[in-house]
């Protein structure tokens, strides 16, 4: 058997056996090389092909890990869960693996009748590798769908945020979207802070994260929320809000605003009027602002607590006269101005201080900027850059400027804690951690005066806080009422009011400050009124009565503690102190 080139068969073989064998070997080697080249070529081609494939980066195409991304649990200051992750099954389909679309549609609709037939058919048609059908279902539905046995339909476990307190702390917590990203409240803040980064790096996937501890005390939060809900029906108010702060650490102990929403159902947050009134609502604070004016005046040294002010006649500005509501129309001492909430007296006090000094004092208390706070829902207050004579006069009793209740809360905290402004926080913070952040705004002596004045307003006869004190007997609460008339059609209306009560307790050694707001309340019964003392005031009293024991404040009926805070110079005009 011989083989020569070109298929030309010679009649005589001249090659030797050895040469013929050599030719044969060479031919075999060539075939072998060809086979190898083809083999490697195929491998190389496949590699190039794989390199060309584009990966799907949308959420639907992501790996299991990314969508089970966890969020850390949120705990209140006592370790009670306020938000936890639960794992729930989500239904998806692989349209390219579905054999009979019509059958799949009919079968699926037996378990999930609310899915639109048309939508489902479109969803399942095509050559896609992954489409969501319905996310965050229950294990029972998972069981039923699995029993249908449709090929190309399966479940994946996803993390879903759950808020066991339902509506109670909705504005603090905010909510998350279906992809478990924070869209409001502290959840949103946490995302911008650290978790987004952790999730990006793949660290927050499927493993437990260190819980986040908030400053909220759920027991106090519950009482606050409960009482606000009660106030909404009791006074037929359109809204109510309240917040409590630890005056030394700036920790927010409770913060609630009604109407609210259920964070487990984020769509309910889109309903009108559910915004957070404490942080993102700005209001004319009304008379609760007099506390600020008096503190500024006393701190400037230009006004003393024993000074008298002429409140016999209204203050005239051109055509306008500013008068008192239920005025005494006599000469009032400074504590009396506060107690009777005299507009005239407050204007005189502000004028004694000087309007520019007064404006500077408001800046020192940070009334013209956003409060530094974790919640993303904040509004810039509206305070005029410079005061005219009239502007300063109206501002002294809380009109003509709009601030959030949170501004008032932090200001009150600073006024009673010895004069240190501390930015509020929703995270747990110790006094030691807060102290370096203190900014002195008034002298400790002025702060002591303010405590006395606030307590005076609660226990002295005729004081606007006496309604409040009835419920909270023994807990040494004091505060100031504020009834701000709303602007309706460009005029101040006397029957549409926003009522405030700003308070602090226990005033002999204060620890907590609170601001309560009731919007457009009506009289509870024919004997009561619509001014702040009747609603925001009594509401404050009821809240304190319930939370004081939780916060470790013992009641005291001796009156000795109240006497201790009376400044000696006041004794000259009121020997009995109150």
Partner 1 sequence: MIRQLNIFLICTSIVMLVGVYMLKFSIEGTAAERTQLQIHISEQEDDLTTLKADWAVLNQPAYVEPIVRRHEAELGVSQVQQKQFGSFADLPMRPAKPDSAAMDALFLAIDAGIDPIDAILELEGIE
Q: Which residues bind partner 1 (CB under 8 A)?
A: 80-81, 84-87, 157, 162, 164-166, 168, 218-219, 221-223, 225-226, 473-475, 545-546, 549, 554-555, 557
Q: Minimum distance between the CB of residue 185 and partner 1, rounded to whole angstroms?
A: 18
Tell me the CA distances in angstroms from 122 to 90, 94, 99, 118, 562, one per residue in order: 19, 13, 15, 6, 75
Q: Minimum distance between the CB of residue 74 and partner 1, rounded to whole angstroms?
A: 10
Cβ neighbours, 10 Å, residue 348: 24
Rounded CA gap, 223 and 369, in Å? 31
Check the CA dihedral 21-25-31-34 and report its sign.
negative
Rounded CA gap, 521 and 518, in Å? 6
Q: Minimum distance between the CB of residue 228 and partner 1, rounded to whole angstroms?
A: 13
Q: Minimum distance between the CB of residue 216 and partner 1, rounded to whole angstroms?
A: 12
Contact between 224 and 134 under an 8 Å Cβ cutoff? The reply is no
Contact between 501 and 521 under an 8 Å Cβ cutoff? The reply is no
Rounded CA gap, 408 and 402, in Å? 11
User: Nearer to partner 1 by C-beta: 78 or 495?
Assistant: 78
User: Nearer to partner 1 by C-beta: 81 or 179?
Assistant: 81
User: Nearer to partner 1 by C-beta: 32 or 86?
Assistant: 86
Give residues with Cβ within 8 angstroms of 556, minimum separation 6. Answer: 474, 476
User: Nearer to partner 1 by C-beta: 84 or 238?
Assistant: 84
Residues belonging to the chain: 578
User: Nearer to partner 1 by C-beta: 223 or 513?
Assistant: 223
Q: Minimum distance between the CB of residue 221 and partner 1, rounded to whole angstroms?
A: 8
User: Nearer to partner 1 by C-beta: 411 or 547?
Assistant: 547
Q: Minimum distance between the CB of residue 456 and partner 1, rounded to whole angstroms?
A: 21
Cα 159 → chain centroid: 22
User: Nearer to partner 1 by C-beta: 447 or 540?
Assistant: 540
Q: Minimum distance between the CB of residue 270 and partner 1, rounded to whole angstroms?
A: 23
Among the listed residues 160, 223, 303, 182, the one whose alpha carbon sits nearest the alpha carbon of residue 539: 223
**Tokens 């319930």 found at:** 546
Q: Minimum distance between the CB of residue 139 and partner 1, rounded to whole angstroms?
A: 8
User: Nearer to partner 1 by C-beta: 221 or 249?
Assistant: 221
Task: Show the tokens assigned to 54.
Answer: 């584009």
Q: Minimum distance between the CB of residue 366 and partner 1, rounded to whole angstroms?
A: 33
Q: Minimum distance between the CB of residue 177 and partner 1, rounded to whole angstroms?
A: 19
How far apart are the two ends of the chain, measured CA to CA in Å? 133
Question: Mapping DSSP to helix (H, G, I), strand (E, B) and coil, where does residue 181 land?
Answer: coil
Question: Mapping DSSP to helix (H, G, I), strand (E, B) and coil, where does residue 480 land?
Answer: strand
Rounded CA gap, 115 and 136, in Å? 14
Q: Minimum distance between the CB of residue 218 and partner 1, rounded to whole angstroms?
A: 6
Please report which helix (H) or strand (E) contains residue 145, including its range.
helix 139-148
Tell me the CA distances in angstroms from 319 to 315, 316, 322, one per residue in order: 11, 7, 10
Cis check: omega of the bond before 506, within 30 degrees of 0: yes
Q: Minimum distance between the CB of residue 484 and partner 1, rounded to whole angstroms?
A: 31
Longest pairwise C-alpha distance within the chain: 148
DSSP letters, 72-92, are --EE-TTS-EEEEEEEEEEEE
Rounded CA gap, 236 and 521, in Å? 6
Task: Kindly tell me the burial class for residue 523, based on how many C-beta atoms sit within 10 Å of its own C-beta (0-12, 13-18, 19 or more).
Answer: middle
């Amino acid at each position: 058997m011989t083989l020569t080139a070109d298929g030309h068969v010679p009649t005589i073989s001249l090659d030797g056996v050895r040469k013929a064998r050599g030719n044969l070997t060479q031919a075999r080697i060539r075939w072998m090389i060809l086979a190898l080249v083809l083999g490697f070529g195929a491998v190389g081609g496949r590699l190039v092909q794989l390199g060309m494939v584009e990966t799907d980066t949308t959420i639907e195409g992501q790996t299991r890990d990314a969508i089970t991304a966890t969020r850390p649990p949120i705990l209140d200051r006592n370790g009670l869960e306020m938000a936890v992750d639960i794992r729930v099954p989500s239904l998806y389909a692989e349209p390219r693996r579905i054999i009979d679309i019509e059958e799949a549609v009919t079968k699926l609709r037996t378990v999930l009748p609310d899915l639109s037939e048309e939508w489902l058919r479109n969803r399942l048609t095509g050559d896609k590798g992954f489409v969501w059908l319905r996310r965050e279902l229950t294990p029972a539905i998972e069981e039923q769908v699995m029993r249908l046995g449709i090929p190309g339909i399966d479940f994946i476990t996803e993390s879903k945020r759950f808020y066991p307190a339902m509506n109670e702390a909705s504005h603090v917590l905010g909510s998350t979207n279906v992809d478990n990203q924070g869209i409001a409240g502290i959840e949103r803040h946490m995302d911008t802070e650290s978790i987004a980064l952790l999730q990006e790096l793949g660290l927050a996937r499927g493993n437990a994260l260190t819980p986040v501890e908030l400053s909220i005390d759920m027991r106090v939060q519950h009482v606050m929320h409960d009482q606000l809900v009660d106030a909404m029906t009791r006074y037929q108010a359109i809204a109510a809000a309240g917040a409590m702060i630890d005056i030394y650490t700036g920790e927010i102990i409770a913060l609630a605003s009604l109407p609210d929403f259920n964070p487990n159902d984020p769509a309910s947050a889109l309903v009108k009027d559910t915004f957070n009134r404490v942080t993102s609502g700005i209001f004319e604070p009304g008379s609760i602002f007099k506390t600020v004016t008096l503190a500024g005046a006393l701190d400037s040294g230009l006004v003393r607590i024993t000074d008298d002010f002429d409140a016999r006649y209204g203050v005239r500005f051109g055509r306008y006269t500013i008068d008192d509501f239920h005025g005494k129309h006599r000469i009032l001492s400074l504590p009396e101005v506060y107690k009777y909430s005299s507009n005239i007296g407050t204007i005189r006090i502000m004028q004694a201080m000087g309007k520019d000094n007064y404006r500077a004092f408001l800046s020192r208390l940070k009334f013209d900027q956003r409060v530094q706070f974790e919640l993303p829902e904040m509004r810039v207050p509206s305070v005029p850059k410079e005061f005219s004579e009239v502007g300063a006069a109206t501002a002294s009793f809380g009109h003509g400027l709009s601030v959030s209740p949170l501004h008032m809360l932090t200001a009150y905290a600073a006024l009673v804690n010895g004069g240190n402004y501390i930015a509020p926080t929703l995270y747990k913070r110790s006094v030691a951690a807060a102290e370096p952040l203190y900014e002195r705004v008034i002298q400790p002596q002025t702060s002591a005066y303010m405590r006395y004045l606030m307590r005076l307003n609660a226990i002295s006869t005729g004081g606007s806080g006496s309604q409040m004190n009835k419920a909270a007997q023994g807990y040494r609460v004091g505060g100031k009422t504020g009834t701000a008339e709303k602007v309706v059609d460009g005029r101040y209306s006397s029957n549409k009011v926003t009522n405030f009560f700003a308070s602090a307790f226990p005033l002999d050694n204060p620890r907590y400050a609170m601001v309560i707001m009731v919007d457009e309340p009506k009289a509870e019964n024919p004997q009561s009124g619509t001014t702040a003392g009747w609603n925001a005031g009594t509401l404050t009293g009821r809240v304190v009565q319930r939370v004081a024991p939780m916060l470790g404040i013992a009641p005291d009926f001796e009156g000795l503690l109240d006497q201790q805070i009376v400044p000696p110079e006041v004794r000259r005009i009121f020997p009995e102190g109150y």
